[in-house]
Structure 1
Amino acid sequence: MLVQAGRAAAPHADRIAARLDSLVRDPDDYLIERLAFALAGLGDVRVMPALHRLTVRKLLWRNGRHARALAALPAAELMPLLRRDLGADAADGGGNACALDVLATWGPDAAPAVPEVTACLEGPCAYEATRVLGRIGPPAAAAAGRLAEYATGPVRPLGPWGPDPRGPWHGVRMAAWAHSRVTGDDSLALRIYTADLASGLGSRVLPYLADLGPAAARHTDAVRALMDSPGAWTRVAAAHAWWRITGDPEPALPVLLGSVDPEWDGHPAYPTPRAVRHLGEIGAPAAAAEPVLTRLLERETRLGRPWESIRILADDAFTRTLTEALAGIGSHSPECPSAGTGRPHQHEYPWGT
């Protein structure tokens, strides 16, 4: 329960740290693991001795849902431990995937781990490693050649399902995006995304076009058409891409507003949180969204369904999303932040394939 509490556990940080210290010789790794992730989620470096114990016992990266809490720790504190675990077995699957997830959250601060992440390109976590390298950006330029090979097809990584030659690798689009991020050259990515649009796969490249921003201006007609898609997630992604590329919020706002369900209960099939985030990024022109966002924020009913085992964390995350969006609408200028750069805030890097 403490792990699920997230930031709400902050008043109890001293008690959690003291309890961890008292368990230094306790054989109950399960309790240590839960307390450690709860304290790590608060960014409290007093957790480091417990994390060292868990990594020695091969327990630190076994639970991906909880391991994401480690991203709240300062990168400088966790980085040596994380790099050692990645370097120990670059062919590992689940453990490396969790560690790479943390590195992806850190973005450019993960640059010291470029050698270990690059090694992961050759194993079953190639997709996750590709995403991390893209988020790191230019410090990962040494991996550009391999990323280009994965994006264009002459070389295929192992991937989670083996080197199957019958079709393109599922991470081709991510590799193209990562190549553009580490090199600053968008031409390869645009060539691949243009082919996807021509073959009817536009919904899959919308996050990447949004990241490219004005550099993807040749595709505004295709993006505008996808704003009328029958799929809510596609409509939201297209509206966001339109705004990122053009800086014009007007066509995007009705789509995003229409995708904010005032009764959203946390069901992951609906894009309400993402629509809320995009409205906050647009800023002042999205002022019409303030009443519904305020109503969602002030609801007493917490998010979550019976099948949602981390509903407290989901509620905490959605509350932050709403709060940040309302602050953005009240304080941001109407100008699109991608203008002139084509680059979004860290949390808005592409999420799909």
Structure 2
Amino acid sequence: MRTPGSAVKAVYRYRRPGPDCWDAVVTAVCEDTRHRWDAAKALAQAGPAVSAHADRIAKALDEGSGRGDELASALAGMGDLRAVPALRRLAQDGHFPTYRIHVRVLAALPAAELLPAMRTVLRRDPPRYHASTSVLELLAQWGPDSASAVPEVLPYLEGPYAYDALRVLGRIGPAAAVAADRLADFATGRAPKAARHHPRLAAWAHWRVTGDPTLALGVCGAAAGSGSASHGLPFLADLGALAAAHADTVRALMESPGAWIRVAAAHAYWRITADAEPAVQVLLAEVDPQWTGMPALPTREAVRRLGGIGAPAAASAPLLRRILAAEERLAYPYEHVRILADEAYVRTLTEALARMGAGAPGAPVPPPAPAARRGLLQRWQGLH
């Protein structure tokens, strides 16, 4: 029988801990043991792993447990609608989950159940920083289902939350067309609150709400050719074949000294040209099997983009399967999201393999990447 302390350590360390570990974690939270605080932080990230305990968790939540935010997050991670009343109360009290990765779990709940409460939070004056950014993140995750909140989102263009608001409007799409002129002002720098990091996102959002790519192609294409930070590459990738005039510029950025830029450029080049071979080489070179989850490296993003390419990237499948089979979780530096971060990586790996058709054992490996990346690729070949 696991002790609560050893169970908490096990669920943080291992991808496939035994059911007795999660049993002990749930007991520690619901019965208020001395390990409750650490156990609750783990339980909030458990998702389907504790689905057998859903009724027990819901009962503890109804009884007014002091760890209501973690209990509600645990239910939400299972898609259990019994989390909704508690999340509404948390939002009203200003205690809504504040970490983006936690908020993304909540996005699995139906928007209709939480959107009225989220709109109320956005109408607060003055807005509360953490609550507002969390709610805007949730609306962005819901995308078009957040359309009724456009009136509450628009005022956020006038303050420190403008970047988050631009993202929400772009994700909502045509239903946010009332914002088209203001988006154009941000994209061109005419808006009084426009900052240097706004134009690319605003131009992309303008295309998303109007269907007219002209502004996005001009602003994001110019950014890609300027050598400035961010380069507008994710937005050119979204535009796809519409951005064909920028294909050569994007191809050149695949040789950038910055790993994140190389990955973004490879993805954009594939989306623009449908030419998989050079993109796969660059992306595969970033898939380090020893990656610990440090955000400075784009390993998970590279895996996600290989999955997006699908069958033409099947040569990477053996490596992805090897990473997926690892017993231990990513040694992510922040414990309060460690399980969520690892589970997100597992989903990325699993979805990538599914889109590739799981690849074929012994599939040939693409030719070596540019010289600057050969050391990493050689290390992978030694482990494979």
Which interval holds the TM-score relative to the shorter structure?
0.7 to 0.9
The answer to whether 1:296 aligns with 2:332 is: no
Aligned partners of 2:171, 2:102: CA distance in 1, in Å? 22
- The structure-2 alpha-carbon separation of the partners of 1:277 and 1:177, relative to structure 1 and needing over 3 Å to count, comes to same
Shift of the alpha carbon at 1:95?
1.4
Q: For structure 1, which segment, 196-205 or 186-195, has the greater mean C-alpha deviation from structure 2 after superposition? A: 196-205
The answer to whether 1:19 aligns with 2:35 is: no
Shift of the alpha carbon at 1:153?
1.3
The answer to whether 1:55 aligns with 2:91 is: yes
Aligned partners of 2:175, 2:264: CA distance in 1, in Å? 28
Determine which of 102, 114, 119 is the counterpart of 1:78.
114
Shift of the alpha carbon at 1:170?
1.9
1:102 corresponding residue in structure 2: 138
Alignment of 1:35-46 (within 5 A): 35-46=71-82
Shift of the alpha carbon at 1:234?
0.9
1:262 corresponding residue in structure 2: 289
- The structure-2 alpha-carbon separation of the partners of 1:222 and 1:65, relative to structure 1 and needing over 3 Å to count, comes to closer
Alignment of 1:327-346 (within 5 A): 327-330=354-357
**Do the aligned partners of 2:76 and 2:108 also contact (CA within 8 Å) in 1?**
yes
Determine which of 47, 50, 56 is the counterpart of 1:9.
50
Which one-letter code corresponds to 1:193 in the other structure?
C
1:348 corresponding residue in structure 2: none
2:153 corresponding residue in structure 1: 117
User: Normalization by structure 1: what TM-score?
Assistant: 0.85
Alignment of 1:204-219 (within 5 A): 204-219=231-246
Determine which of 168, 192, 200 is the counterpart of 1:132.
168
Aligned partners of 2:358, 2:317: CA distance in 1, in Å? 12
Aligned partners of 2:148, 2:207: CA distance in 1, in Å? 20
Which one-letter code corresponds to 1:242 in the other structure?
Y
Aligned partners of 1:67, 1:277: CA distance in 2, in Å? 20
State percent identity of aligned pairs.
Answer: 58
* Secondary structure, aligned partner of 2:232: helix
Which one-letter code corresponds to 1:143 in the other structure?
A
**Do the aligned partners of 1:71 and 1:106 also contact (CA within 8 Å) in 2?**
yes
- The structure-2 alpha-carbon separation of the partners of 1:251 and 1:9, relative to structure 1 and needing over 3 Å to count, comes to same
Shift of the alpha carbon at 1:53?
2.6
Shift of the alpha carbon at 1:60?
2.2
Aligned partners of 1:329, 1:139: CA distance in 2, in Å? 34
Shift of the alpha carbon at 1:291?
0.3
Which has the larger Rg? 2
| Aligned Cα root-mean-square deviation (Å) | 2.0
Q: For structure 1, which segment, 102-111 or 52-61, has the greater mean C-alpha deviation from structure 2 after superposition? A: 52-61
Which one-letter code corresponds to 1:83 in the other structure?
R
2:129 corresponding residue in structure 1: 93
**Do the aligned partners of 1:156 and 1:169 also contact (CA within 8 Å) in 2?**
no
For CA contacts below 8 A with separation 6 or more, give which structure has more relative contact order: 1
Shift of the alpha carbon at 1:66?
3.7
2:183 corresponding residue in structure 1: 147
Deviations 1:140-189 (A, max 9, x none): 0000011111111121327xxxxxxxxx4321211111011100111111
Structure 2: gaps (5+ residues)? 1-41, 360-384
**Do the aligned partners of 1:90 and 1:96 also contact (CA within 8 Å) in 2?**
no
**Do the aligned partners of 1:276 and 1:325 also contact (CA within 8 Å) in 2?**
yes
* Secondary structure, aligned partner of 2:192: coil
* Secondary structure, aligned partner of 2:287: coil
Which one-letter code corresponds to 2:138 in the other structure?
V
2:197 corresponding residue in structure 1: 170
Deviations 1:317-343 (A, max 9, x none): 1110000000000189xxxxxxxxxxx
Shift of the alpha carbon at 1:214?
0.7
Deviations 1:289-339 (A, max 9, x none): 11000001101121124544421111111110000000000189xxxxxxx
Which one-letter code corresponds to 1:80 in the other structure?
P
- The structure-2 alpha-carbon separation of the partners of 1:326 and 1:32, relative to structure 1 and needing over 3 Å to count, comes to same
Alignment of 1:236-315 (within 5 A): 236-315=263-342
Aligned partners of 1:11, 1:197: CA distance in 2, in Å? 49
Shift of the alpha carbon at 1:203?
4.4
Shift of the alpha carbon at 1:132?
0.6
Structure 1: gaps (5+ residues)? 159-167, 333-353
1:340 corresponding residue in structure 2: none
Which one-letter code corresponds to 1:244 in the other structure?
R
Q: For structure 1, which segment, 36-45 or 224-233, has the greater mean C-alpha deviation from structure 2 after superposition? A: 36-45
Aligned partners of 1:211, 1:141: CA distance in 2, in Å? 19
**Do the aligned partners of 2:291 and 2:299 also contact (CA within 8 Å) in 1?**
yes
Deviations 1:57-79 (A, max 9, x none): 22225565544432121111111
Shift of the alpha carbon at 1:272?
1.1
Which one-letter code corresponds to 2:61 in the other structure?
L
Aligned partners of 1:306, 1:63: CA distance in 2, in Å? 14
Shift of the alpha carbon at 1:22?
1.6
- The structure-2 alpha-carbon separation of the partners of 1:85 and 1:203, relative to structure 1 and needing over 3 Å to count, comes to closer
